[in-house]
Structure 1
């Protein structure tokens, strides 16, 4: 975090500064990292005692103090000889501090901010943008999937006065949450990737999902840029909601940043990109999955708008073979067996894309195995969407389905009803059973996909299989 005095922090978050029993003064400067996790605290850091659904961060304030916290932001005073700022709500205070820091850094005139949202692809696109922009200047981007009301401001608080680019991943599970993050860090470029059924159960339907994602662009200024997916009708509809200049990306002919001549293979996807003005380049993109080309196009469009030359963009993209752990992560290798671990998260769109990639990379004379778990947070759509994925797996000719857990059982039943009745689809209750089944049945040359929502925990199964077949 940039250097701020205790008094400045208290003012920014609207809190009361307490210095009882300490040697600190209101003018004491704080410039450590900010976290809500006491395990991450180091000397000079700031600890926000966040209340959670199952726990209360105030319980961990003593541990934070022992590890050298220079400031505690709390909702009630704690009996510790550490400077404290008492606020009404620590999450609101965290956002207020992020807003203050972003404003101060932006006031120096150098910082450019990119906001990224969408039902799928946010983390991949964020990582692609970081790879491009950090070649140009100091760049801050979220660790992992820090994209909610806690993770996003923590990322913003990593800014320094030298930072040139901030890539802010903005997720939501309800209307209003993206708007809140946009108010903290006003993007110069706002990206909307796709609107699908991910979290539709939490949002209360697809219409509410569209409304939530459109918050990325509704408050953009005329001098800003909205980077929108020309291939998604729901995203296309957002063009009428923004004052910003719209730049379209996609495969459609109307897209200004467009991919053509796609060639999908086991090492990624090759494509030709064309940008506004007609300049084009061939891209050998090593991140597996044709669907990730759309994420690459969004990153290219934003980077071009930020003034990065196309050759530099292409060079950065070609340097990557993995966007993030557990996202189309290629493992294995023994006896020609490939394991694709894509089990960090799953929605109907990303599940379909992963299965299509599995079918596309299958070598002649080899088999494909899909180990699939539940797609969570779909609400009323859950049953029909699991049915649809079961049908798709059969129609794509996936050689063997292994369906894991009761939450995904309908996927197995639908596959059987569609024609996988001779053992092509197997149902097991646990990841351990799935591991044993795949190890027992895999043949040389097979390609194994592991895909589920994070809550199903199959990413660890993917790791086990990758290590076993290493």
Structure 2
């Protein structure tokens, strides 16, 4: 973060200063006292299980020079606010605006933000890899690994900006109407990307229409004269173009002929990796440009994510040929997202256990079927999809039926919240031991350790709260660890 005095922090967040006004924050903004170092600003967030205020002294002892808190803390340099989380967002908004205004000789960074029901993290990671060479160094681009996409994670990411930052790539998530509007007020994007409207978090939103409304907040959230990048293959997203201001440029991506940036001649290799021709429409006499792309990411659904990232990068000036070259070299960066491990015993593990909704579950299952082909046994280890509201049972039932239709050879359903996947498979026509229900992770681990055979292709997928990431780690590492211990 740029350096700020305690007085400047207090002014930015509207807080009451209980510290030397000249004390300076020179380090990171943190919410975990274990991350404290010299010059840090510790934000004391209240939580359901722990209260950050109880760890403020430890943060100061480790080097933090200031605490953002909701009450005075005896003997600690503190800025007191009504709500530390809201103040965190205000501080991030202030710092980004300051840097964009050229403070301390800063070059105003370009902000790129991605939202959508699926694919946000992968698209953000692709954008980071497409723009890194343009930035001229790691210190000049910020795109965090993982999903720092909510009211806490996004401000923490924004607060990493310095005078050297040229690109800030953000992921914006939502589980309620107004979330994206709030996040874009903190970090108004120069380029805002909307991927897809699905049913993720529909239990919170109440309807798909409410989800579409929320994702559409990205369109009005871009800066004056900015760009929105919309998925032409998703009707709800494509219709968001009508919400754009007259000064906003609308760019579309997809596979339909009318898309500004599109993929043609898509093929998928036995490893589940897609290749395609990238076609870019150019205004005026420039005509079309084409380039070949061969993705290293596993799953044909990543074509859409790649097109979204490509469209944003093109708007920021990256040449078509370079976009294609960099896409073809891009890797999966964030964990538990279609991460493929080839175990020494011949088992292939596809760990996609970070999160799940009906759309991403279907895409992962189709990829499993492609990778297994006709010669290898396909095994789907599935947990519950959360926050689906009244449609939860039907959505899980549909996934179970799809498993059967895709001819997945073995289904393992983990946990009571996923039971209806097993039920759907049985109703569709599975029998005997083709579909197995187990109550918990330990049962699944034991069963899979005993039953997996060389040549099997195993998919692990569930919502984050199901904790199947632990199983994904176990299946990806267990044989390697055992071999190393021999």
TM-score (structure 1 length as normaliser): 0.96
Partner Cα separation in structure 2 for residue 5 and residue 143 of structure 1: 29
Work out which of the residue numbers 183, 186, 203 in structure 1 matches 2:185. 183
Partner Cα separation in structure 1 for residue 475 and residue 222 of structure 2: 45
DSSP-derived class of the 1:384 partner? helix
Query: RMSD across aligned C-alpha pairs, in angstroms?
Result: 1.4
In terms of mean alpha carbon deviation, does 182-191 or 311-320 score higher? 311-320
Matching of residue 127 in structure 1 with residue 121 in structure 2: no
Cα contact 1:258–1:274 (8 A) shared by 2? yes
Matching of residue 87 in structure 1 with residue 81 in structure 2: yes
Matching of residue 363 in structure 1 with residue 367 in structure 2: no
Structure 1 position 52, deviation (Å): 2.0
Structure 1 position 283, deviation (Å): 1.0
Cα contact 1:287–1:323 (8 A) shared by 2? no
- Look up the match of 1:256: 260
Structure 1 position 162, deviation (Å): 1.2
Judged with a 3 Å threshold, the aligned counterparts in structure 2 of structure 1 residues 311 and 469 are, in CA distance, closer, same or farther, namely farther
Structure 1 position 433, deviation (Å): 1.6
DSSP-derived class of the 2:133 partner? coil
Structure 1 position 314, deviation (Å): 2.5
- Look up the match of 1:217: 219
Deviations 1:96-131 (A, max 9, x none): 111111101111253111111011111111111111
Structure 1 position 43, deviation (Å): 1.5
- Look up the match of 2:28: 33
Partner Cα separation in structure 1 for residue 180 and residue 250 of structure 2: 19
Matching of residue 275 in structure 1 with residue 273 in structure 2: no
Cα contact 2:112–2:168 (8 A) shared by 1? yes
Partner Cα separation in structure 1 for residue 406 and residue 31 of structure 2: 45
- Look up the match of 2:13: 13
Aligned positions of 1:67-466 closer than 5 A: 67-80=62-75, 82-108=76-102, 110-137=108-135, 138-221=140-223, 223-243=225-245, 244-265=248-269, 266=271, 268-277=273-282, 278-466=288-476
Structure 1 position 221, deviation (Å): 4.9
Partner Cα separation in structure 2 for residue 9 and residue 436 of structure 1: 53
Partner Cα separation in structure 1 for residue 156 and residue 290 of structure 2: 37
Deviations 1:52-87 (A, max 9, x none): 23332111111111111110011100012x321111
Partner Cα separation in structure 2 for residue 401 and residue 233 of structure 1: 33
Partner Cα separation in structure 2 for residue 143 and residue 39 of structure 1: 19
- Look up the match of 2:285: none
- Look up the match of 1:47: 42
Cα contact 2:272–2:299 (8 A) shared by 1? no
Partner Cα separation in structure 2 for residue 219 and residue 431 of structure 1: 42
Structure 1 position 190, deviation (Å): 0.6
DSSP-derived class of the 1:279 partner? strand
Structure 1 position 148, deviation (Å): 0.6
Structure 1 position 42, deviation (Å): 1.0
- Look up the match of 2:59: 64
In terms of mean alpha carbon deviation, does 142-151 or 396-405 score higher? 142-151
Cα contact 2:125–2:332 (8 A) shared by 1? no
> 5+ unaligned residues in a row in structure 1: which ranges?
20-24
Structure 1 position 173, deviation (Å): 1.1
In terms of mean alpha carbon deviation, does 70-79 or 211-220 score higher? 211-220
Cα contact 1:332–1:469 (8 A) shared by 2? no
Cα contact 2:24–2:65 (8 A) shared by 1? no
TM-score (structure 2 length as normaliser): 0.93
DSSP-derived class of the 2:134 partner? coil
Structure 1 position 226, deviation (Å): 0.7
Structure 1 position 267, deviation (Å): 5.6
Cα contact 2:299–2:364 (8 A) shared by 1? yes
DSSP-derived class of the 1:134 partner? helix
Structure 1 position 438, deviation (Å): 2.2
DSSP-derived class of the 2:74 partner? coil
Partner Cα separation in structure 1 for residue 298 and residue 479 of structure 2: 19
In terms of mean alpha carbon deviation, does 28-37 or 217-226 score higher? 217-226
Cα contact 1:332–1:468 (8 A) shared by 2? no
Partner Cα separation in structure 2 for residue 101 and residue 135 of structure 1: 25
Cα contact 1:220–1:242 (8 A) shared by 2? no
Cα contact 1:173–1:203 (8 A) shared by 2? yes
